[in-house]
Amino acid sequence: MLLAMQEAAESPLYRAPLGNAELVVGAYASEGTTVYVSESLENLRRSATGDTMRRLVGFLFMATVAAAVVNMVLFRVVSRPLQVLVGTVKKIGEGDFRLQSDSFRTNELGYLADEINSMSQSLAASEKTRLLQMAQAREIQRNLLPNGVEADGFEVAQLFEPAEDVGGDFFDILMLCDRSWLVCVADVSGHGIPAAMNAAMLKTLVMQAAKTLVSPSQILQEANQQFTSMSLEGDFATVFMLRIDPCAGRFSYASAGHDPGWLLTEGTNLKQLPSTGLILGIDEDVTWEEPTGEFAAGDRMLIATDGVCETSDSSGRLFGRDRIGELLAHYRDAPADGVINLLNQALNEHRGAARQTDDVTALLIERNPGSNC
């Protein structure tokens, strides 16, 4: 071994083989004395590797701790406040414009919270104005409906429930120039303000035509020509136009693609009054047939928009036309107002918690026994 140490000390790399191992030797000579220090190269490598691994593990541990601390700080300072702000914005987006965000410690998040609060206040003011305008529009539309009409020879019970603040359904009861009566029920396509504006326009056109005409089909033709030329592409309307002559006990009607009406005559005899032509707003030159019939004392007629039979529950099941006919026949002897109230109650019970998706309008007309003819 001494020879190996001497050989290693004289080697440029200070190494020498010793059996299956390799020595690394350091030598120091002073005053004729030489001191050799040797160690196995494998031991040195193992020691260096172990030391390096310990340092690396220590570094990784410190880095992990530092990352955890930074993450915790970011969560408390940034992530959690941002989650609060996101939740606030979502609630504002759902319509809670009164909601205000809390203040935060950091200037940046505080500025963002102030801007969100300012936005919420602006939206709240806009929503207040919108609701006021919609309330006025609803009142205007209600005022466009006939109120307190006293028609000699028959009475009318009504149901009018728009799906939104205002809607596209309307009805009217007008005395014609020959002292007969015109009953009009219309359903303009769409919902909300656009449909309400088209409904108001169509009502005006019908009133204008009814000043000089008495035939339901002719009134429809006159109104359709103007409505088709003035309305936007894709706007249309279904209309049931009924003329009642109480003195003669007769009726005639024209239906522009409207839901069939119901005629309840003696006993519980039910007859449907189907559409007699195309819907309004498609063709300016279209014409309608005009069937006639007897409207004797005690007879009833129900005219409704499709929002009645198409009222659906939460599963999508429709109320259906059959139930309308069954209700009319079952409550044959009930007052007209009572029948309409029962119909409204049945619709509400069928709909349940589901949202009303279409305007609902129905008129029940009953021929009175007496008349001043």
Number of domains in the chain: 1
Q: Is residue 76 part of a domain?
A: no
Using CA atoms, how far apart are residues 300 and 273, in angstroms rounded to an integer?
Answer: 12
Contact 109, 83 (CB under 8 A): no
Domain span at residue 261 reads: 151-367
Using CA atoms, how far apart are residues 235 and 194, in angstroms rounded to an integer?
Answer: 10
pLDDT at 102 over 90: no
What digits encode the pLDDT tens for the residues 287-299?
999 999 999 999 9
Starting at the edge strand that comes first in sequence, how are the strands of the sheet with 169-175 ordered? Answer: 169-175, 181-188, 237-245, 250-256, 292-294
Q: Is residue 261 part of a domain?
A: yes
Q: What is the pLDDT of residue 258?
A: 98
Q: What is the pLDDT of residue 19?
A: 65
Using CA atoms, how far apart are residues 245 and 192, in angstroms rounded to an integer?
Answer: 35
Q: Is residue 37 part of a domain?
A: no
Task: Give me the mean pLDDT over the 306-311 stretch.
Answer: 95
Contact 185, 304 (CB under 8 A): yes
Q: What is the DSSP letter of 76?
A: I
User: What average pLDDT is seen over the chain?
Assistant: 85
Q: Is residue 63 part of a domain?
A: no
**Percent of residues in the chain assigned helix, strand, coil, to nearest 5:** 45, 25, 30
For 292-348, give the DSSP string. Answer: EEE--TT-EEEEE-HHHHT-B-TT--B--HHHHHHHHHHTTTS-HHHHHHHHHHHHH
Using CA atoms, how far apart are residues 40 and 55, in angstroms rounded to an integer?
Answer: 23
Number of helices (H) and strands (E), helices first, in the chain? Answer: 9, 13
pLDDT confidence tier of residue 70, bands split at 50, 70 and 90: low
Q: Is residue 10 part of a domain?
A: no
What digits encode the pLDDT tens for the residues 219-272?
999 999 999 999 888 899 999 999 999 888 999 999 999 999 999 998 788 999
The CATH number assigned to the domain holding 305 equals 3.60.40.10
**Least confident residue range of 6-10, 175-179, 215-219, 242-246:** 6-10
User: Which residues, in sequence order, are CB contacts of 359 under 8 Å at separation 6+?
Assistant: 161, 162, 163, 167, 168, 169, 187, 191, 195, 305, 307
Against a cut of 0.75, is the pTM above it?
no
Residue 151 has phi, psi (to 5 degrees) of -95, 125
Q: Is residue 293 part of a domain?
A: yes
Q: Is residue 12 part of a domain?
A: no
Q: Is residue 345 part of a domain?
A: yes
Amino acid letter at 225? Answer: Q
pLDDT at 74 over 60: no
